[in-house]
Structure 1
Amino acid sequence: MTPQSDEDEVWRQIVASFNDTAEHDSADQPWPDSENVPAEPARRVVKPSEELEEDLDDAGDKHDEGSDDEQAGEEGHYVPPPPPPLPKLDLATKLAWVALFGGPAYLLIAAMASWHMEGWALFTAVAAFIGGFVALVVRMGDGPPSNDGWDDGAVL
């Protein structure tokens, strides 16, 4: 027999048995012991508000059976530092943002409310959007920061 005829015979068997049901149900097959997960005791998740109420009910007794487990779980909890304040914007940048969002917002509200819009109002809303976008892009400043001095780093 040639290797090609062996492959053809294997494919014929696969196709012939495609719609056959399995001889053994998967529930009857044994589960390997290495896949078993050890049973852990059920833990109760306590929301911070419930924890506070329980602490108040205990009249100051904060060391109950689960407190050691809770403290061990909180040791690795990362609390990020507060974010830095937002930068102060000058008047031109504020107006650019208002124009960028105000023009389309006006058009959307006018269309939803079925207002009759004059040609100059449409032109002003579209021009405000485009002008706000252009103003923000122009003010973005793609160059390097000016406070770094003359040294741009290592030169090879």
Structure 2
Amino acid sequence: MTPQSDEDEVWRQIVASFNDTAERDSADQPWPDSENLPVEPVRRVVKPPESAEAEDGPEDDGDEGRAPASDDDEGHFQPPPPPPLPKLDLPTKLAWVALFGGPAYLLVAAMAGWRMEGWALFTAVAAFIGGFVALVVRMGDGPPNDSGWDDGAVL
């Protein structure tokens, strides 16, 4: 037999046993028992001792804004509200309107079947390009003004 015929025979065996199920050995799972999850998750609730609550007296003033915590909510992180968005100046607002307004007009006009004049097409495309250029130019490539004297690692 040639090496090619041996290889062909191996391939025939692989193809013939393609749909056969694998034989399971005595273990039903391929991982150790210590990695199995319990049927019901274990809940660990840590409550402060009752004597500490009695010593503190009435609720602190800082807790007035919070809703009373129930046993189900304990241990869940609730992030603080996000800071407000920065205020934009008029040129930046106009650049954003132009950036999205030009293509939006073209899309609405095309979907509505309006006949678009040449000057309207030019204005919409020019608004898009102008808004994009204005936003890129206003980005700046330097560090922020409040970064201080140390600008970090400079290579």
TM-score of the superposition, structure 1-length normalised? 0.60
Matches of 1:147 and 1:28 in 2, distance apart? 66
| Letter aligned with residue 15 of structure 1 | R
Tell me what 1:45 maps to: none
Which has the larger helix fraction? Answer: 1
Q: Which segment drifts farther, 89-98 or 13-22?
A: 13-22
State the match for 2:40 in structure 1. 40
Please show how residues 7-156 of structure 1 align to structure 2 within 5 Å. Answer: 9=6, 12-16=9-13, 18-20=15-17, 22=20, 30-32=26-28, 38-40=38-40, 71=71, 74-153=73-152
After superposition, give the CA deviation of every residue in 1:6-28 in whole Å (9 maximum; x if it has no partner).
Answer: x9647624523532464xx5698
Kindly state the Cα deviation for residue 143 of structure 1 after the two structures are TM-superposed. Answer: 0.6
**Whole-angstrom CA distance in 2 between matches of 1:107 and 1:128:** 11
Deviations along 1:23-81, whole A, 9 cap, x unmatched? xx56986553856765439xxxxxxxxxxxxxxxxxxxxxxxxxxxx82x533311111
Which amino acid in structure 2 is aligned with residue 16 of structure 1? Q
Calculate percent identity across the aligned residue pairs: 63
Give, as a single letter, the amino acid of the residue that structure 1 aligns with 2:28: P
Rounded Cα–Cα distance in structure 2 between residues aligned with 1:37 and 1:153: 47
Distance 1:104 1:118 in 2: 15
Deviations 1:59-117 (A, max 9, x none): xxxxxxxxxxx82x533311111111000011111111110000000000111111111
Does structure 1 retain, via aligned residues, the 8 Å contact 2:143–2:151?
Answer: no
Paired with 1:101 and 1:121, the residues of 2 have a C-alpha distance of 15
Q: Return 5+ residue gaps in structure 2 as ranges.
A: 42-69
In 2: Cα distance, 1:28 partner to 1:145 partner = 64
Unaligned runs of 5+ in 1: 42-69
**Distance of 2:135 and 2:151 partners within structure 1:** 27
Give the aligned CA root-mean-square deviation in angstroms. 3.5
Aligned residue pair count: 122
